Structure 1
Amino acid sequence: MLSLPAPVRIHILIGLACFETPETVVTSVKEKFGLTLSRQRVEAHNPERAAGARLGVQWRDLFYDARQRYLKELADIPLAHKA
């Protein structure tokens, strides 16, 4: 299995950090980068899953930073405007 380019990995990590499903991320990678990935390969970029347990420190940090920013943005939305 070939290593993914950094922009693709970043896209995957940010999508997963924002609670997108692996299937949604697979579709967005196909549309944006023209790459066909399996859901399992995408899932391997989620450090909160067993498949992503061996994810590198820099990628873990990026995931948790993106997750924190996403949750903060959600918290800033007034309650009356949340879906």
Structure 2
Amino acid sequence: MATLNKKQKLFIVRSLAVFNTPQETVALVKEEFNIDVSRQQVENYDPTKRAGISLSEELKNEFYETRQGFLDAPQNIPIANLAVRLDRYERLYIKNIKNVAMAIKIMEQAAKDMGGQFTNQTKTELTGKDGETLPVPQQPIPLTPAEIKEHIKECLKKAQDEY
């Protein structure tokens, strides 16, 4: 088990706080600090896991502050930005232009994003004009089989007369 300094511990805590898995965090620590840590060692820095129950207050606070900041600021994630998504769709479209099925799917996805299908930009008004309640439609009175048969005959006669 590698001995970690404060900077490395904070790095691990922040990585876990932004929902990186322990395995992803292991790879990030190797890349950033060139040290080997195990998944189990990394899990000790996640206060939401049983292994992290004894984490220091300072690191727990850092974890929860980082997580809250991450959840409160989705605009900081590039793919959450419509312009970034459309740019990536464009690149995928150009790359897959000869694959007609894939190109169509990419265009469809871009159209859905532009139309606001995956956002709450489109609003549905559930009230009447000036906030009044909408009238409740009356339930139709069920017809008997004889009445249905008569109605069909009338419709057929009317269609023959018009023809």
Give TM class, smaller chain. Answer: 0.7 to 0.9
**Is residue 70 of structure 1 aligned with residue 70 of structure 2?**
yes
**Is residue 12 of structure 1 aligned with residue 12 of structure 2?**
yes
Distance 1:4 1:36 in 2: 10
Quickly say closer, same or farther: Cα 1:26–1:14, change in 2 above 3 A: same
Task: Give a deviation string over 1:17-66, Cα, whole Å, max 9, x none.
Answer: 00000000000100110110000000000000000000010000000000
* Higher RCO (Cα < 8 Å, 6 or more apart): 1
Q: CA deviation at 1:2?
A: 5.8
- Give the structure 2 partner of residue 33 of structure 1: 33
- Decide whether the 8 Å contact of 2:18 with 2:70 is kept in 1: yes
TM-score, normalised by the number of residues in structure 2: 0.46
SS of the residue 1:70 aligns to:
helix
- In structure 1, the gaps of 5 or more residues are none
Quickly say closer, same or farther: Cα 1:53–1:25, change in 2 above 3 A: same
- Decide whether the 8 Å contact of 2:2 with 2:35 is kept in 1: no
- In structure 2, the gaps of 5 or more residues are 86-163
SS of the residue 1:37 aligns to:
coil
Q: CA deviation at 1:75?
A: 6.7
- Give the structure 2 partner of residue 21 of structure 1: 21
TM-score, normalised by the number of residues in structure 1: 0.87
Q: What number of residue pairs does the alignment pair up?
A: 82
SS of the residue 2:36 aligns to:
coil
- Give the structure 1 partner of residue 54 of structure 2: 54
Quickly say closer, same or farther: Cα 1:76–1:3, change in 2 above 3 A: closer
SS of the residue 1:29 aligns to:
helix
Amino-acid identity (%): 35
